[in-house]
Amino acid sequence: MVNEHIDRLKQKIAVLPDGPGVYQYFNAEGIIIYIGKAKNLKKRVSSYFTKNHEDGKTRILVRKIVDIQHIVVDTEQDALLLENNLIKKYQPRYNVLLKDDKSFPWIVIKNESFPRVFQTRHFIRDGSTYFGPYTSIGMVRTLLDLFKQLFPLRTCKHKLSVENIQKSKFKVCLEYHIGNCKGPCIGAYAESVYNEHIATIMDILKGNIASVIHFMKQMMMNFAGELEFEKAEEVKQKIKLLESYRSKSTIVNPRISNVDVFSIVDDESSAYINFLRVVNGGIIQSHTMEFKKRIGEERADILLFAMSEIQARTKLLAREILVPFKPEMQFSNSQYLVPKIGDKKKLLELSERNAKYFRLEKLKQQSIGKKETREERLMKTIQLDLRLKELPRQIECFDNSNIQGTNPVAACVVFKNGKPSKKDYRHFHIKTVIGANDFASMEEVIFRRYKRLKEEGQALPQLIIIDGGKGQLGSALNALEKLDLRGQIAIIGIAKRLEEIFYPGDPIPLYLDKNSESLKVIQHLRNEAHRFGITFHRNIRSKNFIKSDLENIPGVGEKTIEELFSVFKTFNKIKGATLEDLQACVGKDKGNRVYSWFNRDE
């Protein structure tokens, strides 16, 4: 029976074509157990039955093959895309498995008349255009809110065909009455104008914001030239929204206009593919996919599979694709580049770093035992995420606070085992720096803090966090070098704009997952330092104002002010006190002076 079975398969293989296509292996129950693509169907399929496979999974697969079917296509690229679709549909047991973003949000522009624009977590191949996936639901909501403010888009689910609109099948809703929609359902909104707005939204989501802003500036000037200043102001506010959104993109190099970046990190069981999309010099999209290996696939095959997945979702690939190595198959209208130097090489390294981080996150989740306390698990998570040499039992975070250079102060907050230790909080008056100089202020505070700890023999923290970018981090490092502590304490900086984490001497920042526990602890530290510093700064300004106002009273000195506060407790009570009460406290003469000062208008 076995020989008859093998002979029958060999007969099928003998008549397979030599062109590109997709092959399917079936088991005895008639279930598809493997789907593959090939540049040459006959050579590829025959290799399964003529080679001695070292991989045990492959040997098991071959033993279970009972039937073979194939589909012929025109090109190898068509074979790759068809393989992707069939694997998604049938999910064969021995194929690479995409363990990805079923829960990640997308922005969809529906394939319909007067298209709706909304968020979804379900990718449906219905001809609609999808943008994403986004790792942050907050970013999705920000974008949708931006579109709502820029354009009066419809939100109803009516089928707005020309016939239905002409037959007056619909009535306007509340959105129309409050001005959010211009009533396409009753023919009050030209479809051509609506589609222009949809095209603008697509440009924004693709990162082509510069041309949109240029067009809207021309529109604003035209309105102004026709003395329609209210309309010009509306357009101006929309331009501000667009520029605010553009400022949140990570700029890498303005000369890099349209590039996709793919990198791969793998181990025995899984592969992790990171994808970056760069438009007009800024990274507008980043996503990492995990593939579970089911049968000895080559890295190049998995990389191609990931590319086909991105093309299926975003409808296109850039003309230039940065890769760590060149796959055999070429996508139409795209060219591979393996960068060796320059900004494109740095982009590839950034992509690889994100893939490595994603892999470490998965391994970390697997390695954390259930018996660990929450504090132990959190410490190990932070250590792994931030690549620290030891557990960060004590973390200290610094923030400067001043308003136009007045009353400059700084705050230091201390977390132990991931929790605030408020008794160890410290605040500092800036003594050696004149004016608003964050860099010099940071260097002074770091030097004073750790000089004292060193002299008193107190325990040093395992991690220092600086609220700021490369400049503040460099100043803190200068202070540690003066104390011979650089290298003994790990130190990082966190920038507010994109939550980038900077390391000393490393120009490429680290981006932690927005939902990671490590980032939440860092944000908590940063926010707590900011709160503590701002509160201290306000108190100082308030006390200085009160003291200076009382000191301005002729004949009233520091001793009199102390007597007043010992009796009345607060500045407002002193100000509102009666003449008799003031005289009883500080005597007739000084009581008259204080009362007259606060009631001089009367």
Q: Which domains does the chain have, with CATH numbers?
A: 2-95 (3.40.1440.10), 106-251 (no CATH), 258-365 (3.30.70), 376-539 (3.30.420.340), 552-598 (1.10.150.20)
Average pLDDT (585-590) is: 87
- The residue among 548 and 372 whose pLDDT is bigger is 372
Rounded to a whole number of angstroms, the CA Rg of the chain reads: 33
Q: Is the pLDDT of residue 3 over 60?
A: no
- The residue among 188 and 362 whose pLDDT is bigger is 188
pLDDT at position 226 is 87
Q: Is the pLDDT of residue 544 over 80?
A: no
Rounded Cα–Cα distance for residues 474 and 439 (Å): 8
pLDDT at position 324 is 92
What backbone phi and psi angles, to 5 degrees, belong to 213?
-65, -40
Q: Is the pLDDT of residue 1 over 60?
A: no
Average pLDDT (282-296) is: 74
Closest CA to 571 of 589, 553, 554, 584: 553
pLDDT at position 191 is 86
Rounded Cα–Cα distance for residues 290 and 265 (Å): 10
pLDDT at position 464 is 92
Please report which confidence band the pLDDT of residue 244 belongs to, taking 50, 70 and 90 as the band edges: low
Percent of the chain at pLDDT exceeding 70: 83
Average pLDDT (209-238) is: 81
Average pLDDT (332-345) is: 86
CB 69 within 8 A of CB 26: yes
Q: What is the pLDDT of residues 466-509, one digit of tens each?
A: 888 888 888 899 999 888 888 888 998 888 767 788 888 877 78
Q: Is the pLDDT of residue 255 over 90?
A: no
- Is the model's pTM score more than 0.75? no
Helix, strand, or coil (residue 354): helix
How far CA 493 is from CA of 396, 398, 447, 499, 505, in Å, comes to: 12, 10, 17, 10, 12
Q: Is the pLDDT of residue 435 over 50?
A: yes
What are the DSSP E strand ranges found in 382-517?
Answer: 394-403, 406-416, 419-420, 426-429, 463-467, 490-494, 501-503, 506-510
DSSP state of 316: -
Average pLDDT (108-134) is: 81
Please report which confidence band the pLDDT of residue 322 belongs to, taking 50, 70 and 90 as the band edges: very high
Please report which confidence band the pLDDT of residue 87 belongs to, taking 50, 70 and 90 as the band edges: confident
Please report which confidence band the pLDDT of residue 98 belongs to, taking 50, 70 and 90 as the band edges: low
Q: Indicate the pairing of strand 32-38 with strand 21-26.
A: antiparallel
Average pLDDT (241-265) is: 70
Handedness of CA 413, 538, 473, 345 (dihedral sign): positive
Helix, strand, or coil (residue 268): coil
Distant-in-sequence, close-in-space partners of 542: CB < 8 Å, separation ≥ 6: none
Burial class (CB in 10 A: 0-12, 13-18, 19+), 334: middle
Task: Of 71-80, 436-445, 516-525, give the lowest mean pLDDT range.
Answer: 71-80
Please report which confidence band the pLDDT of residue 291 belongs to, taking 50, 70 and 90 as the band edges: confident
Closest CA to 97 of 270, 351, 332, 322: 270
CA atoms within 13 A on the CB side of 158: 20
How far CA 249 is from CA of 74, 132, 213, in Å, comes to: 39, 15, 15
pLDDT at position 101 is 45
| Number of Cβ within a 10 Å radius of residue 201 | 24
- The residue among 322 and 49 whose pLDDT is bigger is 322
Q: Is the pLDDT of residue 361 over 80?
A: no
Rounded Cα–Cα distance for residues 246 and 146 (Å): 12
Encoded amino acid at 250, one letter:
T
Encoded amino acid at 55, one letter:
D
Burial string for 310-322 (b: 16+ CB within 10 Å, else e) reads bbebbeebbebbb
Q: Is the pLDDT of residue 442 over 70?
A: yes
Q: Is the pLDDT of residue 404 over 50?
A: no
Rounded Cα–Cα distance for residues 319 and 334 (Å): 4
- The residue among 285 and 276 whose pLDDT is bigger is 276
Burial string for 213-231 (b: 16+ CB within 10 Å, else e) reads beebeebbeebeeeeeeee
Helix, strand, or coil (residue 401): strand
Please report which confidence band the pLDDT of residue 518 belongs to, taking 50, 70 and 90 as the band edges: confident
Mean pLDDT of the chain: 80
Longest dimension (CA), the chain: 122
pLDDT at position 264 is 92
pLDDT at position 370 is 46
Burial class (CB in 10 A: 0-12, 13-18, 19+), 124: exposed
- The residue among 367 and 43 whose pLDDT is bigger is 43
Q: What is the pLDDT of residues 45-60, one digit of tens each?
A: 888 877 676 666 677 7
Residue whose structure tokens are 């104002």: 545
Q: Is the pLDDT of residue 529 over 80?
A: yes
Handedness of CA 384, 389, 394, 398 (dihedral sign): negative
Percent of the chain at pLDDT exceeding 90: 4
Q: Is the pLDDT of residue 116 over 70?
A: yes
Task: Of 19-28, 62-71, 275-284, 539-548, give the lowest mean pLDDT range.
Answer: 539-548
Tokens read off for 86: 């069939």
Please report which confidence band the pLDDT of residue 397 belongs to, taking 50, 70 and 90 as the band edges: very high
Q: Is the pLDDT of residue 271 over 70?
A: yes
